Structure 1
Amino acid sequence: MKNIQVIDGADNCTFSIFQATNAEFALLFPAEGQDLQFAEDLDAQALNALGPVWDRPIPKRDVQGIHGTLFYGFAGKRSHFPASKQEADWPADALNPAQRRRHVRGPR
């Protein structure tokens, strides 16, 4: 199972995490190494895969890693995200100093 955090503009600001099977994750994050996705980019097959995912919330205290982030309502902010949809590709000026140090040394 892979963990997906959902970021949206809801007033409750829960930014909940859900578990997806490897097959569901591959539909939601189809590119090699992809770990960022916009809901607006999901095709019909991926949207269907979300049905079972919504039934698998996981409390944050039980999460051991977040494998992907799904954004709802962020299409207007797309220019701020890496075109690769890989978190490892954030531009250095979007990161704080500690993140930049990790970004430079860290694995992809």
Structure 2
Amino acid sequence: MQHRLWIATAAIAGLAAAFTSGSAFARTDVSVNIGIPGPAFVAPGPVYAPPPVYAAPAPMVVAPPPPVVYGPPPRYWRGPPPRHWHHGRGWDRRGWDRRDGHHHR
């Protein structure tokens, strides 16, 4: 049974190839009309490929991250900068001993 299926598939493929080549021969045999013997050879159709690299859109330019500075935290003379997150950590804590956490004046 598998053998018959293979034969049927081959026959259908052969008929399709013969029909395609016959119709292609009938379409491309223009040389008979102008007196040149033999079929005319037609170049194959275009191959669709992705556009070249220079036609690609420009990449998005993103600013690099700020450099990481390893060092001591800055010591501000006039208190923390505006909108600083750690309030009360600068000059207004100067009455507190930072070692034991108790207030000594």
Normalised by the shorter chain, which TM-score bucket?
A: under 0.3
TM-score by length of 1: 0.16
TM score, norm. by length of structure 2: 0.16
Bigger strand share: 1
Work out which of the two has the higher radius of gyration on C-alpha atoms and give 1 or 2: 2
Structure number with greater CO (CA < 8 Å, separation at least 6) is 1
More helix by share: 1
